[in-house]
Amino acid sequence: MRPVIPYVTAALLFGLGVYGVLRRRNAVLVLMAVELMLNAVNLILVTADTAVRAVLPHSGQVFALFVIVLAAAEIGVGLAIVLQLYRLRASVAVDEVPLTEPAESPRTGGAPEPAAVSAAGRDTEVGR
Amino acid sequence: MTGADVLLLALGAVAVGAGVLVVTTKHLVRAGLYLVVCLGALAGDYLVLGAELVAWVQVLIYVGAVVVLLLFAVMLTRAPIGASDDLDRPGWPAALIGGGAGLGLTVLLVDAYRWSTVELTGAGAGTAERLGEQIFRSWVLPFEVLSVLLLSALVGAVVLSRPDIGRPGPAPDGVPSQDVDSGGRR
């Protein structure tokens, strides 16, 4: 078995994940690209487990299992945030999220008046 | 080139091809389905590499749970059915950084391993029995920390997705909120 084949696969998948995270506007697609990156890391761990003789056997596979668990937790919280964003602004475009809190309005939590909050958010929005 | 090499090459090509489609397609739902293909090919890679348990956990959790959750999110955010043109931002910085990361890692790993061979340890290398021994002998503490992390992620997701927890003021549907963290003073 040539370990370079799965290693190169993993490196290409990681590059694709980075590209997807930076390119996509839809938050769900950004999460999918993050999954690609996590899977690339898993493939590297499993390949290293067979290619490198470690002191503790099967450490790579155990780590891959841990990363899978972390990915499951990440996707749960991430989708909750995405759905909350959709409920707040009726859009999941990540480049329309204002990075600053609207200064003049008190913290209303946003949920009662989404139109007012999004209008105030556009005024103070940075980077557009 | 042994049989394992050919299998790894084929599955890797399928995974990378499906990954390209995930990050370039204009259909949201199709991106999720291509993700299934990519993750399935990676599970096949794990099987070839002898990591049985990881492969089946990958199929169970990623293909079974994560992709279904992502497709649910696609539906709940009312994504359009057909192709949508506003999914992408201008591409050249993303292509530059992504291509740089991918090619840099490729060069690094190719330089580290060249065309060397390792012999696969055969069947039974990554069964649940062996991995369970390792997890519950050497990695017990990270395992328990991960279970706490899963619990906190669960609680966090519930709190985030319920509009009537931790918000001052009335809830969107007019019901007075049960304000847990500020005691309902505001």
* Backbone phi and psi for residue B99, each to the nearest 5 degrees, phi listed first: -65, -40
CB-CB: which of B31, B51, B106 is closest to A49? B51
The answer to ipTM > 0.95 is no
Task: Looking at mean pLDDT, say which of A5-19, B123-137, B159-173 comes out highest.
Answer: A5-19
pLDDT at A113 (0 to 100): 46
Out of A35-44, B3-12, B54-63, B168-177, least confident range: B168-177
Residue B14 placed within a domain: yes
CB contact under 8 A, B57 and A65: yes
Q: Same domain, yes or no, for B75 and B147?
A: no
Contact between A100 and A75 under an 8 Å Cβ cutoff? The reply is: no
Q: In the structure encoding, which two tokens stand for residue A43, read together?
A: 């493939």
The percentage of residues in chain B with a pLDDT greater than 70, rounded to a whole number, is 87
Domain CATH code at residue B30 = 1.20.120.1200
As for how many domains chain B has, the answer is 2
Write a three-state SS string for chain B.
CCHHHHHHHHHHHHHHHHHHHHHHCCCHHHHHHHHHHHHHHHHHHHHHCCCHHHHHHHHHHHHHHHHHHHHHHHHHCCCCCCCCCCCECCCHHHHHHHHHHHHHHHHHHHHHHCCCCCCCCCCCCCCHHHHHHHHHHCCHHHHHHHHHHHHHHHHHHHHHHCCCECCCCCCCCCCCCECCCCCCCC
* Residue-wise pLDDT tens digits, A71-101: 999 999 999 999 988 988 888 888 888 888 7
Which CATH code is given to the segment(s) A4-97?
A: 1.10.287.3510
Domain extent at residue B182: 139-186
For residue B167, what pLDDT band results from cuts at 50, 70 and 90?
Answer: low
CB nearest to B70's CB, from A11, A28, A51: A28
The mean predicted confidence, pLDDT, of chain A is 82
B40-49, B59-68, B85-94, B164-173: least confident range? B164-173
For residues A50-67, give the mean pLDDT.
89
CB contact under 8 A, B54 and A19: no
Looking at the fold, whether B75 and B146 belong to one and the same domain comes out as no
Contacts of A77 in chain B (CB under 8 A): 153, 156-157, 160
Residue found by looking up tokens 């993993």 in the block: A10
Cβ separation of A57 and B130 shorter than 8 Å? yes
Chain B: give the shortest CA distance to residue A36, in Å.
7
Domain ranges of chain A: 4-97, 98-128
Domain limit, last residue, from B83, B104, B127:
B83
DSSP state string for A63-79: HHHHHHHHHHHHHHHHH
A11 vs B105, B114, B118: nearest CB = B105
Among A26-30, A99-103, B66-70, where is mean pLDDT lowest?
A99-103
Q: Which residues on A lie below 8 Å from B129 (Cβ)? A: none
pLDDT for residue A126: 44
Same domain for B150 and B72:
no
Q: What is the pLDDT of residues B119-135, one digit of tens each?
A: 887 666 788 898 999 89
The pLDDT of residue B166 is 66
